[in-house]
Chains A and B, each alone.
Chain A
Amino acid sequence: MRELSLHILDAVQNSIEADANKVYVNIIEDFDQDKLIIEIEDNGKGITPEFLKEVLDPFKTTRKTRHVGLGLPLFSAAAKNCNGDFKITSKKEKGTKITATFKHSHIDREPLGDMVSTIVAIICSDKEIDLFYHHQVDNKKFEFNTKKIKKILGNIPLANINVIKWLKSYLKYNFKELYKNGGV
């Protein structure tokens, strides 16, 4: 995967498969400390301590459709390849939290990429899920959550094509603002 936003999408798909109905995505870009931190936390069914030890092994997976799970090992490698770190903690029936840390300026760090498309793909999931997104670039931040949007929309689904169109322009505008005067 060529973008960190694709790893994020993949990790959130894991949360959805784990029956989470809330996912928190937290991105912190700290230029002073030259760090990029990505946290993904869900309230899904969690991972057993036994499986947690093996979760970064590409030959282990819980999926029944195929027997190799590549998502998390790829995410972990993306972080470790650029002076970073990858941690996963989980509690059965409580949820799972992933923390990936990167040296922001590292030459091998994948770009965040198209976060708008990642958010849209999450929102259009067939499972009922609320996304709480928090993105900080130095001292500026952008927060977004689907709960608030759903409240305004009432019985109109978030996946409605006109809602998606609005969302895309809303997100694009806010990301542009977030990176104004610096950042990349």
Chain B
Amino acid sequence: MEVFRLPKIKSLEELRKLREEAIKSMRVRESTSTKITVGMGTCGIAAGAREVMHAILNELEKRKIDANVITVGCIGLCAEEPLVTIERGGQPGITYGKIDVEKVPKLIEEHLIKGNIIDEWVISRG
């Protein structure tokens, strides 16, 4: 049986290097941590939550924004899925409903870069 991995040493080296960088950046952003939560219950998955999460990761990467993206189970607002909650630096979270892939760039731009909450997409606060 043929077993293969990424050129192993190289890839693990990459991961180690990455760890060093992450430690540095963690020190810098300790007080301004941003957490983005995506609902990943059956309801969320069926509504496209996995693709929304993927789009969020790509957007953060593109704009070099440091944030933790976390998936959670169903919170009971199935009709509003996909649900995305943004918490910044210890402030109460803002939950947006019916977020699709097309809405993600605007969401990141307004909420995370300009600091504006997009009221018409909000379904719950705090």
Q: State the CA gap A177–B4 with chains docked (Å).
A: 8
| Interface magnitude class on chain A | 35 or more
Cross-interface CB contact of A121 among B5, B40, B65, cutoff 8 Å = B40
Given the complex, which residues of B lie within 8 Å of A177, measured CB to CB? 4
Given the complex, which residues of A lie within 8 Å of B69, measured CB to CB? 124, 159, 161, 164
> A117 near B15 (CB under 8 angstroms)?
no
Given the complex, which residues of B lie within 8 Å of A162, measured CB to CB? 18, 21-22, 25
B61 within 8 A of A: yes
Known contacts A152-B12, A164-B69; is-contact A1 B45 (Cβ 8 Å): yes
Q: State the CA gap A153–B18 with chains docked (Å).
A: 9
Cross-interface CB contact of A124 among B3, B53, B78, cutoff 8 Å = B53
> B61 near A156 (CB under 8 angstroms)?
no
Given the complex, which residues of B lie within 8 Å of A157, measured CB to CB? 68
Q: State the CA gap A154–B16 with chains docked (Å).
A: 10
> A161 near B67 (CB under 8 angstroms)?
yes
B73 within 8 A of A: yes
Known contacts A63-B74, A161-B57, A174-B6; is-contact A152 B45 (Cβ 8 Å): no
Total residues of chain B contacting the partner, CB 8 A? 47
> A6 near B70 (CB under 8 angstroms)?
no
B41 within 8 A of A: yes
Given the complex, which residues of A lie within 8 Å of B46, measured CB to CB? 1, 6, 70
> A152 near B16 (CB under 8 angstroms)?
yes
Q: State the CA gap A121–B5 with chains docked (Å).
A: 22
Q: State the CA gap A140–B2 with chains docked (Å).
A: 5
B71 within 8 A of A: yes
B75 within 8 A of A: yes
> B74 near A65 (CB under 8 angstroms)?
yes
Taking the nearest CB of chain B, how far is it from the CB of A183, in angstroms?
Answer: 13
> B26 near A13 (CB under 8 angstroms)?
no
Which of A43-51, A94-102, A165-173 is found at the contact surface with chain B? A165-173
Residue of A nearest to B48 (CB): A6
Residue of B nearest to A173 (CB): B6
A160 within 8 A of B: yes
Residue of B nearest to A65 (CB): B76
A33 within 8 A of B: no
Q: State the CA gap A62–B93 with chains docked (Å).
A: 28
> B2 near A139 (CB under 8 angstroms)?
yes
For B95-110 the 0/1 string (1 means CB < 8 A from A) is: 0000000000000000
Restricting to A135-184, which residues have a CB under 8 Å from any CB of B?
139-143, 149, 152-154, 156-157, 159-166, 168, 170, 173-174, 177
A125 within 8 A of B: yes
Jot down 7 A-B pairs with beta carbons below 8 A, ordered by A: A9-B40, A9-B50, A10-B42, A117-B54, A121-B53, A126-B71, A152-B15
